[in-house]
Structure 1
Amino acid sequence: MILNGPDTIFCHEFCENFIRFGPAILVSVAYCLAPEHRLPVAYKDGEDALLWLKNQALSPNGQP
């Protein structure tokens, strides 16, 4: 989201409405935003989130 973070009611309501349409797991990542953090920092945040999800899925009890 450009103007709102994942902890705002706008984002929460969007995510809540999105998952009502079918079985899904929704993950909201709090990216570092510009202008304080320029690209590719947001890409690295996304990559870190995907790696975390992968590790959670492959590890018993969510432990690395």
Structure 2
Amino acid sequence: NSISCCEQLEREKEGVRVSLEALFQKLQEQHQTELQQLEERLKEFYSAEWDKTHEAYQREADKCQALMQQQ
């Protein structure tokens, strides 16, 4: 009877281990997906910021050039 009890506990232990490994794998994949999404959002944000900065610089350069041509 104690042997069957030990075998039952071993089966339950294995079941829990398999479930935890599956959960861990799922969480790892979810984490990786979230990291990729965050990286993409950051790239989009900094690209937009770069574009705005470049446009502002170009406007100022155009103003300076226009002033120099007026003189």
Q: TM-score normalised by the shorter chain: which range applies? A: 0.3 to 0.5
Which structure's CA Rg is the greater one? Answer: 2
TM-score (norm 1): 0.35
TM-score (norm 2): 0.32
Instruction: With a CA cutoff of 8 Å and minimum separation of 6, indicate the structure with the bigger relative contact order.
Output: 1
The structure with the largest helix share of the pair is 2
